[in-house]
Amino acid sequence: MMMADIATAFPAIEILRDEPLAHYTYTETGGPADYLAFPTNIQETKSLLAYANEEKLPVTVVGNASNLIVRDGGIRGLVMILTKMNQITSTGNTVTAEAGASLIKTTQVAQARALTGFEFAAGIPGSVGGAVFMNAGAYGGEISEVALSAEVLTPAGEIRTLTKTEFDFGYRHSSIQDYDDIVLTATFALTPGDGEAIQATMDDLNARRAAKQPLELPSCGSVFKRPEGHYTGQLIQEAGLQGLKWGGAQVSTKHAGFIVNIDHATATDYLELIHHIQAVIWEKDQVHLETEVRIIGEEPTTTA
- Residues with active-site annotation: 172, 222, 292
At residue 159 the predicted structure's pLDDT band, cuts being 50, 70 and 90, is very high
Question: 20 with 27: CB under 8 angstroms?
Answer: no
Write down the architecture of domain 6-81 according to CATH: 2-Layer Sandwich (3.30)
Torsion of CA 190, 196, 201, 202, to 10 degrees: 80
Residue 80: name the closest of 130, 123, 131 by CA: 130
Write down the architecture of domain 232-296 according to CATH: Alpha-Beta Complex (3.90)
At residue 301 the predicted structure's pLDDT band, cuts being 50, 70 and 90, is confident
At residue 4 the predicted structure's pLDDT band, cuts being 50, 70 and 90, is low
Is the per-residue pLDDT at 1 higher than 70?
Answer: no
- What ranges do the domains of the chain cover? 6-81, 88-212, 232-296
Q: Strand 159-163's sheet: what is its strand order? A: 88-91, 94-98, 182-189, 147-153, 159-163
Question: 37 with 79: CB under 8 angstroms?
Answer: yes
Q: Quick check: do 88-212 and 232-296 share a fold?
A: no
Beta-ladder partners of 68: 294
Q: In angstroms, what is the C-alpha Rg of the chain?
A: 20
The pTM (predicted TM-score) of the whole model is 0.93
- Does domain 88-212 correspond to CATH entry 3.40.50.12780? no
